[in-house]
Amino acid sequence: MKTPTRLALLGMLALVVVPASPAIPQAPLKIRLGIHTALMGVPDLIAVRQGFFKQEGLDVDWRRFALGKEGRDAMIAGAIDVNSTATTPFMIGLDKGIPYTAVAVNSLFCGTNHIVVLKNSDINSVAQLKGKKIGLPKGTITEYIFVARVAPSHGLKTGDYDAPNIPDAKDRIPSLVAKAIDATAVTDPFVAVAEHEGIVRSLENFCKYDPLPFMLTVTNKILKENPDAVVAYLRGWLRAVKLLKEEPEKAAAVYAEEQKALGRDVPVAVLDRALRRMRWEPEITPSIEQYLTDQAQDLVAGTIEGRIKAVPDLAKGLNKELLRKAMARR
């Protein structure tokens, strides 16, 4: 019997079926997220409830914050990676050297931020708040714009009114009902719900004075170590923004389910009306950059207590590239 040639042996080996190694499932990207309890957090809640983040391969560990600056402080403590905050605490954070970066504009919320009084109050104008108590959240853009622009436009200066600090928006209308204060600045959904229940009346919103941008920020740590997770987050978040803009009734229905989970049975129509007061414009445009520069200069000049020492280097505090990547891959 002849010994098989090398060529024949190779042919025989080629017929042997070698089982393929099973594919190793890719571990999901992970993000720790702070979600605002007012309408600024709605895109995040929708993305969680609709599974948008999971569909983008992202595992999200999230928690609620009543103020953007509270989420910012959680970032400092290393507890979360992503948070949205208004421009005033954002600029103060940059001035203090907090290692975070803005990657998008969460929203413009002036239309949903109101000065309200009790419905049966005889106060019909901010000018009538001289000598009164106005509940404000200290260290926020709401306080900053009220003190720097709203009050002066009505002839009021610091000292003409008392401004008790009421950090959590959900506590401001109850304080009004208890007559601990005479007026308050408060956002939706709290305003829309209280209007629906016949409790409060809005004197005006903030749009005449400021667009009130809310910035979407991420820690520099995750930006450096896992930018893909940030892009995945942005893709899921943008899908929720698209739903809010193109199918507002559906978005409101999803948000109503979230409110039910918190023990609040709010009609979808009420939430829909509140959400339509928001503006969802995610890109950091040149006008937003100029807005940040102007506000920083105001804060340095001491328009309201001179909260920062110098205008921060915005080139280091803003990153537009990740949003571009997220929008390109949608």
State yes or no: pLDDT of 330 exceeds 70: no
Identify residue 80 by its one-letter amino acid code: I
**Residues 235-244: pLDDT tens digits?**
999 999 999 9
Average pLDDT over residues 182-210: 96
- What is the architecture, at CATH level 2, of domain 30-109+212-328? 3-Layer(aba) Sandwich (3.40)
CATH 3.40.190.10 in the chain, residue ranges: 30-109+212-328, 111-205
Specify the CATH class of 111-205 in words.
alpha beta
pTM: 0.85
The span from the CA of 122 to the CA of 232, in Å, is: 51
State yes or no: pLDDT of 173 exceeds 70: yes
Which one has a higher pLDDT value, 3 or 114?
A: 114
